[in-house]
Chain A
Amino acid sequence: MKDNILSVSDVTGLIKQTLEENFSEISVIGEISNFKAHVSGHWYFTLKDSGAQLNCTMWRGLNSYVFFTPQDGMKVIVSGRITVYAPRGNYQFDVRSMKSAGLGELQAAYERLKQKLAAEGLFDEKYKKPIPKYPSKIGIVTAINGAAFQDIKSVAERRYPLVELIIASCKVQGEGAAAEIAKSIELLNKEKDIDLIIIGRGGGSLEDLWAFNEEIVARAVFNSEVPVISAVGHQIDFTISDFVADLRAPTPSAAIELATPDKEEIFSFINDFSCFFPEKMVEKLLNFSNEIGRTLSSYGFRMPQDLLRNKSQMLDNLLFRIQNSFDNSITGSKNLLALLESRIQSHNVDSILEKGFSIVRQNEKIITRKKQLEPGLPVDLEFFDGEIKIK
């Protein structure tokens, strides 16, 4: 009996040996609950079914090979071994790898996250930011070597080469992709002068596109100050990031088309302006000049002119009358002058002498009366035809 008594450490050691030897390489299917991703990078969760539960750990480094982030309720297949932790006297499943129990599981996880984020309001229209019409810089979150980036570049080149593309290259599928995408969105936001961010990748399977269905990406898109266009896969693929983004584009090419104005449209606008507006201006000037013409011929504008004509006529009349009376007075004066002249003419000495009268002078003075004559002095007699001196 005494030999059968074991210490706690002994029995725990035996259990540990038994369990770890017999369950060193097993796979277990179950539903995840109480999932916690610790800041250390390790994962802690419980795997359960209707009758039992199993504590699980998955260490950092190993869990980075899982392309999806586990969610409570997700059915997964985990592989690894059972370990016993002696100080606590408990056993746990040390998970080496994890995969979803089927595509349906991913689909279900997608639906659960979508419901959760929708309930939180992350998809609400009120949070959607407008997409700038003429962006200067567009941040692109995708793999620099991927087809999506090539498509984006060629469309930008064709439509709006004035834009600058800032590529924040990252993994777009597989382990760690979601974290890189989220990080790239944050980095572009720190750049300050980015007008718009496009996140996306080309087409692929649900697993390939899965990073864009991760909560960390959804949160990064939601928290982005810069408007985000999500363009993942093809037309038929809808990812969680599509719902959170300010705009969803069916493909990366479509995203850059939505993000940039068309060069040709701008050129045609400029051409319209350059061709149409000279005509427009001529028309405008014509309108103005017609208006001036109409105004001038209006009754109001004719009034002063008529008034002016009346006044001018009146003035003409006055001048005419003045002219007349002046002319009349000149004529009168002329007549008077002629009369006077003829009178003067009639007093002309010659005409008297001619008639036979004579002029008597003494000392050069004309003697017209008898008493003026001084007897004894010489007298000059002037006749019409000559003078005679009488001594």
Chain B
Amino acid sequence: MSKKKESNFEESLMRLQEISELLENRETKLEDSIKLYEEGINLAQSCYTILKEAELKVSELKKQLEENLKG
């Protein structure tokens, strides 16, 4: 669950970067620009929220896993 959320974050951020490049490109059509811009603003908002609310998770690799692998 959390894994999915995090990789979404990465994808969103990548997409945002892509959009910013597309918007700066003069070749991009007006209609596309408007759609991209709208998508970008939404992504920016959700990325901001996710990162702002993130808390560091720390877990220890289970010792029993090690035992299982030995057996």
Main secondary structure of the interface of B (DSSP, over half): helix
Which partner residue on chain B sits nearest A276 by CB separation? B20
Identify which of B3, B13, B60 contacts A266 (C-beta below 8 A). B13
Identify which of A137, A162, A167 contacts B54 (C-beta below 8 A). A162
Q: What per-residue 1/0 map shows which CB atoms of A135-176 lie under 8 Å from chain B?
A: 011010000100000000100110001111111110000000
What is the bound-complex CA distance between A134 and B16, given in angstroms?
14
Q: How large is the interface on B (under 10, 10 to 19, 20 to 34, 35 or more residues)?
A: 35 or more
Chain B residues with Cβ under 8 A from A153's Cβ? 56, 58
Known: A134-B13, A164-B59, A267-B48. A193 touches B30 (CB 8 A): no
Chain A residues with Cβ under 8 A from B59's Cβ? 164-167
Q: What per-residue 1/0 map shows which CB atoms of A209-233 lie under 8 Å from chain B?
A: 0000000000000000000000000
Known: A136-B10, A166-B59, A266-B51. A284 touches B33 (CB 8 A): yes
One of A83-91, A109-117, A181-189 contacting the partner: A181-189
Which partner residue on chain B sits nearest A193 by CB separation? B3
Chain B residues with Cβ under 8 A from A99's Cβ? none
In the complex, the answer to whether B61 meets A187 with C-beta atoms within 8 Å is yes
Chain A residues with Cβ under 8 A from B24's Cβ? 280
Which partner residue on chain A sits nearest B37 by CB separation? A281
Is there a chain B Cβ closer than 8 Å to A263's Cβ? yes
Chain B 32-57 interface residues, beta-carbon cutoff 8 Å to A? 33-34, 37, 40-41, 44-45, 47-48, 50-51, 54-57
Known: A157-B56, A165-B56, A193-B3. A139 touches B9 (CB 8 A): no
Chain A residues with Cβ under 8 A from B65's Cβ? 187, 190
Chain B residues with Cβ under 8 A from A281's Cβ? 23, 33-34, 37
What is the bound-complex CA distance between A144 and B47, given in angstroms?
31
Is there a chain B Cβ closer than 8 Å to A273's Cβ? yes
In the complex, the answer to whether A277 meets B61 with C-beta atoms within 8 Å is no
Known: A168-B61, A270-B16. A277 touches B37 (CB 8 A): yes
Which partner residue on chain A sits nearest B7 by CB separation? A136
In the complex, the answer to whether A167 meets B10 with C-beta atoms within 8 Å is no
Max count, chain B CB within 10 A of own CB: residue among A139, A162, A169, A193 = A162
Which partner residue on chain A sits nearest B61 by CB separation? A168
In the complex, the answer to whether A161 meets B56 with C-beta atoms within 8 Å is yes
Chain B residues with Cβ under 8 A from A139's Cβ? 61
Known: A136-B7, A266-B47, A274-B44. A184 touches B23 (CB 8 A): no
What is the bound-complex CA distance between A288 and B28, given in angstroms?
12
Chain A residues with Cβ under 8 A from B3's Cβ? 136-137, 193
Q: What per-residue 1/0 map shows which CB atoms of B1-38 lie under 8 Å from chain A?
A: 01100110110010011001001100000100110010
In the complex, the answer to whether A280 meets B61 with C-beta atoms within 8 Å is no
Chain B residues with Cβ under 8 A from A288's Cβ? 30
